[in-house]
Amino acid sequence: MLDALAWPGFADLSLAGLLFLCAAAFLAGAVDAIVGGGGLIQLPAMLLLVPGGEVIHSLATNKVASVAGTAAAARTYAKRTPIDWRSALPMALLALLGSLGGAIFADALPSGVLNAVVLAAIVVVAVHTWRRPDLGSVDAPRFGRRGQLVVMLLGGVLLGFWDGIAGPGTGSFLVFLLVGLVGFAFLTASATAKVVNVATNVGALLFFIPAGKVLWGLGLCMAVSNAAGSVLGASLASRRGSGFVRRVFLTVAVGLVVSLGWKVAAGI
């Protein structure tokens, strides 16, 4: 049996470790395609198993896998769910620029403080969603055309910046922004969020690739797995509708609270 130890671009990862990370990438792609939060599965697995090197190599390689998955999910959604491209594309562009900026500062900002801020925010988001069962059941725009675009652009650049820093929950925050503030149904929000998420991943890679931070062998293997999981997740969400997406959203939100709460308590 071939051993990944001898292959370039794998950071001396064993074959068993590679197979485990590919499985994690598949699961992460499926979860992320439905409602975001796949990074909660994929990135911690990489940080645990990739031997040696700097954390930023895992962050960069994670983006290679994620961009394949988000692109596959966006394509699947676009075939089945209407997307307002006149709003989604400008939002994606600003998110890309925000993510590029976030990647540049990825190892310069205090992650402990950021984790605490995001933990508080995700608790508020989860409680608000849980207490309003009708939230996101149907499209109910809260702004006129111009106001909606302004909210989406501001949200795109801020969440893009957070994603460039490799912050957890970006996809989930994008979904909640589009549901809670803009007024999209959960299914429409998930479809739009995937378009924006493609851009945030590309934005981060615009820094990580020239900087030589990507482990290409590992990243490409995980990209195939993540894309396969994303197609499955997007297909499930499209078939089962906004109610299903809402339930997955709340489940992922609880997972994020537990993960971030542990990091804050441990001072990581």
pLDDT in tens, the chain (268 residues): 445 445 667 777 888 889 999 999 999 899 888 877 777 778 778 877 876 656 778 888 989 999 999 999 999 999 988 899 999 999 999 999 999 998 887 656 555 555 565 556 566 656 666 666 665 455 666 778 889 999 999 999 999 998 887 666 788 889 889 988 898 988 899 899 999 999 999 998 998 899 888 999 999 999 999 999 999 999 988 888 777 777 777 777 777 677 667 766 766 5
Taking alpha carbons only, the member of 219, 153, 164, 187 closest to residue 80 is 187
This prediction has a pTM of 0.81
Q: What is the distance between the alpha carbons of residues 99 and 205, in angstroms, rounded to a whole number? A: 9
At 48, list the tokens: 């645990």
The predicted pLDDT at position 107 comes to 56
Q: What does each C-alpha distance from 97 to 28, 50, 181, 251 come to in angstroms?
A: 24, 29, 22, 30
The predicted pLDDT at position 225 comes to 96
Q: What is the distance between the alpha carbons of residues 129 and 115, in angstroms, rounded to a whole number? A: 21
Largest CA distance in the chain: 60
Taking alpha carbons only, the member of 67, 73, 3 closest to residue 229 is 73
Q: CB–CB of 64/205 below 8 Å?
A: yes
Place of tokens 């069962």: 133
The predicted pLDDT at position 227 comes to 96
* Range 165-197 burial, b when 16+ CB lie within 10 A, else e: bbbbbbbbbbbbbbbbebbbbbbbbbbbbbbbb
Strand stretches in 100-154, DSSP E: none
Place of tokens 């969020």: 193
Burial status of residue 92 (CB atoms within 10 A of its CB: 0-12, 13-18, 19 or more): buried
Q: How far apart are the first and last CA of the chain?
A: 38
Burial status of residue 146 (CB atoms within 10 A of its CB: 0-12, 13-18, 19 or more): exposed
Helices H / strands E in the chain, number of each: 9, 0
Q: Which amino acid, residue 219?
A: G
| CA quadruple 42, 229, 123, 257: dihedral sign | negative
The predicted pLDDT at position 52 comes to 62
Q: CB–CB of 49/66 below 8 Å?
A: no
Q: What is the distance between the alpha carbons of residues 90 and 169, in angstroms, rounded to a whole number? A: 21
